[in-house]
Amino acid sequence: MEIKRVGVIGAGQMGAGIAQVCASIGKVVTLCDIKQDFVDNGLASISKNLQRSVSKDRISQKQMDDTLANVSTSLDNKELSNCDIIIEAIIEDVEIKKNLFSSLGDICKERTILASNTSSIPIGILADASGREDKVVGMHFMNPVPIMKLVEVIRAKSTSDDTFDTTFKLAEDLNKVPVLVNDFPGFVSNRILLPMLNEAMFCVMEGVAEPEAIDTVMKLGMGHPMGPLTLADFIGLDTCLAIMKVLHNDMNDDKYRPCPLLEEMVSKGKFGRKSGEGFYKY
Ligand SMILES: NC(=O)c1ccc[n+]([C@@H]2O[C@H](COP(=O)([O-])OP(=O)(O)OC[C@H]3O[C@@H](n4cnc5c(N)ncnc54)[C@H](O)[C@@H]3O)[C@@H](O)[C@H]2O)c1
């Protein structure tokens, strides 16, 4: 199936990035969220990113204008009923995502693929909720979406060949490198990454070193481009906590126990870069 119309639900940092890259290759994109402010912010961040690319001569003004012309916004998911694919990028909460997939199963045309950008929630759970198991797939982009090449394409047991192949090809058309991953909590990326970030937080909590020192050790000692605490702030500490909880519950193994300092920071509204404070102040 050829993908022409794309719906993106959730206009936060990931949803806005996904809408941008889809619009930039000529897809007709509708970006949805629950409040006008949120879709406005999503659109503003797309505009700002594109403007930066124009000023660095990476794209022309016309490419920027064409990309923006391909994006419309909405507060009503029913407007996505005619999309070829819907990519969900709302908060990492299994009950909220299940409700959304259940309603999308009712709203959308039979052919519509329902993809989730979840960081950790098994796709099979969302497939069951949708009532159209064969059409559900994971499409896990990395942050920031316009820059990062990888997309994990997660195949649930129920995902049909056509759904998987169409999603894999869309990722290639977006100039990304898709990788097939089977349906396990956290997939590959966050099964490996998040326990490391969590361990860095234990190091802060136990006084092993200050955040700057921990980040420097991992950057200069291990060759990581960004220290784990800077990266956690960038991902969003609320999202990091949600992922650790999924790993802990679903794998039923205490090695994935979320760091108590992470829980405390999230309970105080310290979500990292997006709230202005996390392990660092912004
Ligand atoms: N932040 C990352 O680095 C990263 C990377 C890969 C995947 N993800 C995943 O992408 C998803 C979104 O993460 P984010 O960082 O963009 O979060 P975010 O907090 O920046 O944005 C989430 C958006 O979803 C909206 N939302 C919440 N419930 C909604 C609903 N029922 N309908 C429509 N919109 C709704 C919120 O209003 C918000 O604008 C999560 O599942 C996350 O795990 C995040």
Q: Give the pLDDT score at 162.
A: 98
Q: Which residue among 91, 99, 176 has the greatest number of ligand 1 atoms within 8 angstroms of its CB, and so is best to mutate?
A: 91
User: Are 5-182 and 190-272 equal in CATH topology?
Assistant: no
Catalytic site residue from 70, 120, 133, 140:
140
pLDDT in tens, 155-189: 999 999 999 999 999 999 999 999 999 999 999 99
Catalytic residue check, 190? yes
Over residues 181-206, the mean pLDDT reads 98
User: Rg for the chain (alpha carbons), in Å?
Assistant: 19
With a 6 Å cutoff on the Cβ, whether 123 touches ligand 1 is: no
Assigned token pair, 136: 């559900």
One CATH from 1.10.1040.10, 1.25.40.420, 3.40.980.10, 3.40.50.150 for 190-272? 1.10.1040.10
Catalytic site residue from 45, 116, 117, 119:
119
Over residues 210-226, the mean pLDDT reads 98
pLDDT in tens, 30-45: 999 999 999 999 999 9
Q: Where are the domains of the chain?
A: 5-182, 190-272
Average per-residue pLDDT in the chain?
97
pTM recorded for the entire structure: 0.96
Order the strands of the 28-32 sheet from edge to edge: 71-74, 28-32, 5-9, 85-88, 113-116, 136-141, 150-155, 177-182
Catalytic residue check, 55? no
Q: Which amino acid appears at position 158 of this protein? A: S
Q: How far is CA 71 from CA 37, 100, 171, in A?
A: 16, 22, 18
With a 6 Å cutoff on the Cβ, whether 12 touches ligand 1 is: yes
Over residues 62-78, the mean pLDDT reads 98
| DSSP bridge pairs for 138 | 116, 154
Q: Give the pLDDT score at 132.
A: 96
Q: Give the pLDDT score at 1.
A: 83
With a 6 Å cutoff on the Cβ, whether 7 touches ligand 1 is: no
Instruction: Quote the CA–CA distance of 235 and 144 in Å, as a whole number.
Output: 9
Q: Please tell me the number of Cα atoms within 13 Å of 178 on its side-chain side.
A: 21
Q: Phi and psi dihedrals of 254, rounded to 5? A: -65, -10
Q: Give the pLDDT score at 125.
A: 97
One CATH from 1.10.1760.20, 3.40.50.720, 3.30.365.10, 3.40.50.1400 for 5-182? 3.40.50.720
